[in-house]
Structure 1
Amino acid sequence: MRKPAGSARLSFIRPMEPELVEQPPKGDGWSHEVKFDGYRTQLVKDADGIRLYTKTGFDWTAKYRPLATEARKLEAESFIIEGETIVTNEAGLSDFHALRSAITRRPQDLYLVAFDLLHLNGHDLRDMALKDRREVLQALIPAGGRIQFSEALPGAGDAVYHLACEAGLEGIVSKRLNSGYRSGSTMNWRKVKCYVEKEMDIIGVKRETGKPAMVLMAENGRYMGGAFVTFKADKRQALWDRVQRRAGAPPPKGLAKEKAEWLNPGLVGLVKFLKGEEKLRHATLKDFWEQ
């Protein structure tokens, strides 16, 4: 006698992860979704009940209990759903910095934005095309709940990316419509992040023969990493003149091993860097001045 579809215990599946690229792909063989700023989450239902896993396979069902309760309303015997757990700010945008406190203090405010379906009612869907998996997933998720479907954004990749950055989003994820689901990093999914500009303190410089020059930045005393210096000759020389006047400071705590010239306080820079990163990434110095 055949077991019911939900009777087998389903195992955590290592996530498929997009590669970071500079530009969204061209052509109509792609879908483009918002890159939500949260925690990657895998939602599982089987005969043992509902479980929610982190990106690395830790069971966080207890932390996400309101989402587990919501998941019981989905009308299927078993499933594995991929999504992102987020909390939103007053503007309705996902807020990564508020997420940790929301998990511990107000989990009822969490959302799960579902973007892929790997398993349904005893069937492994990973060999299906993305567009077909998402069509089934959309039909499974009712509107208006704490579990929501990640809608594809209409338009070409370049236009979608531009609008996402203008709206203050972290970026977009572009996915090949005919691709199957394969664990690990893949160019069938590509993330393109938006850039932001911010004022930070210039606390040091790196000038090594054969390597691009770099300034080392800090924000409120916290080391943030380096930004490349791409100025033309005259502005670059003006920067080095200011650096020379401030050189000679001791290495900041924890940075003694960095091969750098350390500067006394007072030199500030405007840095352009990828949004949503803890440290500077793909960063360039846009301007500088003395306080």
Structure 2
Amino acid sequence: MRLTFIRPMEPELVEQPPKGDGWSHEVKFDGYRTQLIKDEDGIRLHTKTGIDWTKKYRTIAKEAAALNADSFIIEGEMIVTSDAGFSDFHALRSAIARRPQDLYLVAFDLLYLNGQDLRDMPLSERRDVLQALVPVGRHIQFSEALPGTGDAVYHLACEATLEGIVSKRLDSVYRSGATMNWRKIKCYVEAEMDIIGVQREAGKPAMVLMAEKDRYMGGAFVTFKADKRQALWDRVQGKVGAPPPKGLKKQKVEWLKPGLVGRVKFLKGEETLRHASLKGFRDESD
């Protein structure tokens, strides 16, 4: 029987980890979601959207062929690790192209095994079977659950500068698409960026628009108290009047001349600012 790609189950992004003991908490690895299939036609590895990347992941495919099962569908995250041992998303693309032997597949779920569809089994049971299938110390690794409450695991993950955690209901069955039975909780980071514009509309939260090395990063909410907010607007007033940056001719934006720098807090591991807030600012002309 030829197995086909199954559309992934997707965790919802939430602000806080769930409470209670009915949850499993895993590290949120910073890589490419990957589905590993073995059937009578051999080994295939698919991206999150179902594209066949077996040739790119040939070292993982070779190792997968040695797993002790006739057929399976394993879900995992393809990663490469940094010198510190953390998943390094920025190094992943070059590793795929030039150093495929450095890739690891962190396996976190098992959807099918030896002719049996496991998606109606509780997550805890699927993971027990998966852990028994995956040998220790290879490039296909089992994603261990972290001990402790959601709050404690999340705190430790952020202290360790990880991207965040994924919390999953232990009794959850596998269903394709977005679900609150799986939740991802990302850690926040802070960085300084240039404030290039301001959006102030009546009845809406004020926002500053940020750029890093001339690359537009998105907006950050201004949540200062009245006196600090007024100090920011005073600085802004002296810099209003710059032309809109290329490709950013937004309505109702006051574009600013260079010099105003903001310290912004935002979700780690995103291409642009998400859930971002302005924490401080300085004027480089001072």
| TM band (smaller chain) | over 0.9
In structure 2, the partner of 1:58 is 51
In structure 1, the partner of 2:247 is 254
In structure 2, the partner of 1:179 is 172
The 4+ residue runs of structure 1 with deviation greater than 6 A are none
In structure 2, the partner of 1:126 is 119
Matched, 1:94 2:87: yes
In structure 2, the partner of 1:153 is 146
> What whole-Å deviation, never above 9, does each CA across 1:75-131 have from its counterpart, x for those lacking one?
000000000000000110001111111111111100000000000000000000000
Aligned partner of 1:193 among 186, 197, 217: 186
Matched, 1:209 2:187: no
Alignment gaps of 5+ in structure 1: 1-7
Measured after TM superposition, the shift of residue 73 of structure 1 is 1.2
Tell me the matched-pair count. 284
Measured after TM superposition, the shift of residue 68 of structure 1 is 0.3
Letter in 2 for 1:211: K
Distance in 1 of aligned mates of 2:150 and 2:236? 41
Letter in 1 for 2:283: E
Paired residue secondary structure (1:164)? helix
Q: Normalized against structure 1, the TM-score is what?
A: 0.97
Measured after TM superposition, the shift of residue 258 of structure 1 is 4.3
Matched, 1:112 2:105: yes
Paired residue secondary structure (1:228)? strand
Distance in 1 of aligned mates of 2:10 and 2:67? 26
Paired residue secondary structure (2:258)? coil
Contact 2:201–2:252 (8 Å) recurs in 1? no
Matched, 1:229 2:250: no
* Cα RMSD, aligned residues only: 0.5
Report the identity percentage: 81
Distance in 2 of aligned mates of 1:17 and 1:101? 26
Measured after TM superposition, the shift of residue 272 of structure 1 is 0.1
Contact 2:194–2:261 (8 Å) recurs in 1? yes
Contact 2:200–2:252 (8 Å) recurs in 1? no
Distance in 2 of aligned mates of 1:36 and 1:42? 15
In structure 2, the partner of 1:266 is 259
Paired residue secondary structure (2:238)? helix
> What whole-Å deviation, never above 9, does each CA across 1:32-60 have from its counterpart, x for those lacking one?
00000000000000000000000000000
Paired residue secondary structure (1:13)? coil
Distance in 2 of aligned mates of 1:220 and 1:258? 23
Aligned partner of 2:162 among 162, 169, 177: 169
> What whole-Å deviation, never above 9, does each CA across 1:178-213 have from its counterpart, x for those lacking one?
110000000000000000000000000000111000
In structure 2, the partner of 1:78 is 71
Aligned partner of 2:24 among 31, 37, 53: 31
Aligned partner of 1:45 among 33, 38, 41: 38
Alignment gaps of 5+ in structure 2: none
Matched, 1:20 2:16: no
Distance in 1 of aligned mates of 2:51 and 2:185? 27
Distance in 2 of aligned mates of 1:68 and 1:88? 19
